[in-house]
Homo-oligomer: A and B are copies of this chain.
Amino acid sequence: MSTRDTIPGIPRRPPHVVIEGVTPVVDGGRHPAKRTQGDTLVVEADLFKDGHDRIDGRVRVRPPEGRVRTLPLAYHFDPDRWEARVALDAIGRWSFRIEAWPDHWRTWRDELRKRVDADQEEDVAAELPEAALMLRKAAEAQGRSAPGLLEAASALEDDAVPAMERARRVLGPDYEDLVVGPIDPEELACSDDYEVVVDRPLARFASWYELFPRSQAPDGRHGSFRDVARRLPELAELGFDVVYLPPIHPIGHSHRKGRNNDPVCQPGDPGSPWAIGSEEGGHTAVHPELGTLEDFEHLVREAGEHGLEIALDYALQCSPDHPWVRKHPDWFRVRRDGSIRHAENPPKKYQDIVPLHFWCDDREALWQACVEVLFFWIERGVRIFRVDNPHTKPLAFWEWALRVVQDRHPDVIFFSEAFTRPKRMKGLAKLGFTQSYTYFTWKNTAWELREYLTELTTTEMAEYFRPNFFANTPDILHAYLQHGGRPAFRVRLLLAATLSPSYGIYSGFELAENEPVRPGSEEYLDSEKYQIKPRDWDAAGNLKPEIRLLNHLRRDHPALQRLTNLIFLDTTNEQLLGYWKSAPGDDLVVVANLDPFGPQEGMVRLPLGGLDLPVDRPYRVRDLMSGEVYLWRGEWNYVRLDPAERAGHLLEIVREEIP
């Protein structure tokens, strides 16, 4: 049988080198990895080919603006693994690609060296013209950028010089890097292009404070942006970076909720700020009692002067009084009888809210309008949006909307407030959210914290999911805080502020407010969602000293500004959670007592090798919160923590020799 005419075509440009296992890559390249400006991106790949030839490779990096950069790949300690380090000096969407090729020149030199060493003069003489041919090909392929190639080729063929002498010359260091890149462009193998979104550092490391502007008047009247502005010096002094405001827009009247979520409101009840829109305007208007748009812009500027940023809530839902309901009834779920389908979770009816119908026939105009809201506030200086319940709006909408905004404003941060099943939360993060709320509030035992943080810091999640550990929210007052009281608040603050580089508290946390609306509920009694709640911020027992100290320690210690540098420590008492956070020159050890009801003691184990500590003599650790210094020795050391005194130790290794 002749098969010659029927065998399918031989590939025209088959790759010589296989490129596999490129990192960082999320879902095979479907989504970008995330980094922050100033980071070093470590790109890795497996490169291999058949035979014994040497190979070489490079990474081609396209920054958001400017020229493509080319970096050489270096052989890793793992067999067949290569890596390059890319300085991420600009925010925006980067991409990279791996390229690899057979390194004929170095392969030939290696083999020539062995022949010379074995004194195989005849073979050496036969090999030199081979190399000359290779250099001429390289000169042809690389053109003007390859000086010296033709001269070297001629020298190799100079019969006036004995072959062994020519060989020894070409084995000299001058010839090592004579050929750069592939000699034959056909031999270049390329990976796909992979994206990396580089955010500004605040996306990684920030301390957040959430407050309701209407509660900020000192005298119990309806607070305003001016009242918020008066609190800025205090919040700045406490070391916060971001002040997040629930929706600031006009609040609907229809079916307005009363205090404690009463379906019937009383005269004077302010309603929920999430019931957005009234005859006074919608998502681009300001609630009149808070002030004017100019007042808001003033607040944003004032905050900036205190080193603070204002984050706004982006809640894509409408009260029945929202202007869109009249102007675009087709943007809502209208029944054939003309009635609007309210926010649905039958048989419950949330009649103060009507959800947008993102798949309506006029979808394009609706999606456009939603994005225009973001541009409106961006124009007024806002660069951080906390997005309300993104998991109830189409994932495809988020992928488009976030991309549209960040393509123009790569400094904008989107914070996903989705509390839902794990894969949906991860899905939102992959599709573009800069950072995400987490299950942290529900992780209160040592094993829960270890398990959850291990997932966040050591799995593929670390590439795309940036946690922001809020210790409480207007919706979540966990039973641990309700029952554990002030000691529970202290330990949750310590954990949030040291486990995650981004963390936050909702105002009232510093006063250890912990009364639920009813037993078994995570809702606050007299929730600020439905009423104005003035507070005495300096009430006895407030946690401001600890908050201030922790926020400033976070700023001073690079180890607290990273997520994946976390290593849990063994302890002999499951109520004692120990972990080590490291950064160059900065090793911190936290031991927290998770029992708010009484003292706990036990041993904690330090990895002496990793910490570069002596095994044979004592060393000192200093508690950065109390200033106390302890003399420790060996791996296992004793700790006793009394919640009446403190929530835990935040220990710095003292590097000076003990005199």
Name A's B-contacting residues (CB within 8 A): 1, 3-4, 7-8, 10-11, 14-16, 18, 20-21, 27-29, 46, 48-52, 79-80, 111, 114-115, 117-118, 120, 123, 126-127, 129-130, 133, 335-337, 339, 344-347, 359, 363-364, 367-368, 371-372, 375, 379, 390-397, 399-400, 404, 407, 421-424, 427
The 4 lowest CB-CB distance pairs between A and B, nearest first, are: A28-B28, A14-B396, A118-B347, A114-B346
Q: With A18-B395, A111-B344, A130-B335 known to touch, is A404 a contact of B79 (CB < 8 Å)?
A: no
Contact B379 A51 (CB under 8 A): no
In angstroms, how far is the closest chain B Cβ from the Cβ of A26? Answer: 11
Q: Chain B nearest CB: distance from A438 CB in Å? A: 17
A364 to B392 Cα, complex, angstroms: 57
Interchain residue pairs with CB less than 8 A apart (6) = A16-B359, A18-B427, A79-B422, A80-B421, A123-B346, A129-B336
Provide the residues of chain B in CB contact with A118, threshold 8 Å. Answer: 346-347
Q: What residues of chain B lie closer than 8 Å to A20, measured between beta carbons?
A: 27, 423, 427
**A378 shortest CB reach to chain B, Å:** 10
Chain B residues near A407 (CB, 8 Å)? 8
Nearest CB of chain B from residue A330's CB, rounded to whole Å: 15
CB pair A114 B427 closer than 8 Å:
no
B396/A347 in contact, CB under 8 A: no
Closest to A374 in B: B3
Q: Is the CB of B7 within 8 A of A345?
A: no
Q: Do A7 and B404 touch across chains, with their CB atoms under 8 A apart?
A: yes
Q: Which chain B residues border A394 with CB–CB below 8 Å?
A: 14, 16, 49-50
The verdict on A50 contacting B400 (CB below 8 Å), with A114-B346, A129-B335 known, is no
| A340 → chain B closest CB, angstroms | 10
Check A11/B400 contact, CB under 8 A, given A27-B20, A52-B344, A347-B114: yes
Provided the pairs A8-B404, A120-B347 are in contact, do residues A15 and B396 lie with their beta carbons within 8 angstroms? yes
A392 touches B50 (CB 8 A): yes
A397 to chain B, nearest CB (A): 8
Instruction: Establish whether residues A423 and B80, one from each chain, have CB atoms under 8 Å apart when the complex forms.
Output: yes
From the candidates B16, B372, B393, B423, name the one contacting A4 in the complex (CB within 8 A): B372
Q: Which of B18, B335, B391 contacts A127 (CB 8 A)?
A: B335
Q: Is the CB of B371 within 8 A of A7?
A: yes
- Cβ of A165 to closest chain B Cβ, rounded Å: 19
A240 to B151, CA, bound (A): 64
* Contact status A117-B80, CB under 8 Å: no
In whole angstroms, what is the CA distance A359 to B17 when docked?
13
Give bound CA distance, A175 to B29, whole Å.
Answer: 42
Given A379-B1, A407-B8, A421-B80, residue A345 in contact with residue B52 (CB < 8 A): yes
Given contacts A4-B368, A14-B400, A346-B111, whether A395 and B129 have CB atoms under 8 Å apart is: no
| A29-B28 contact in complex given A18-B427, A51-B391, C-beta closer than 8 Å | yes
Chain B nearest Cβ from A624, distance in angstroms: 40
Cβ 8 A contact of A335, one of B79, B126, B359, B379: B126
Cβ of A422: which chain B residues have Cβ within 8 Å of it? 79
Cα-based distance from A111 to B343 in the complex (angstroms): 12
Further pairs besides A14-B396, A28-B28: 10, Cβ < 8 Å: A3-B375, A10-B367, A10-B368, A10-B400, A20-B423, A50-B391, A51-B392, A79-B421, A111-B344, A120-B347
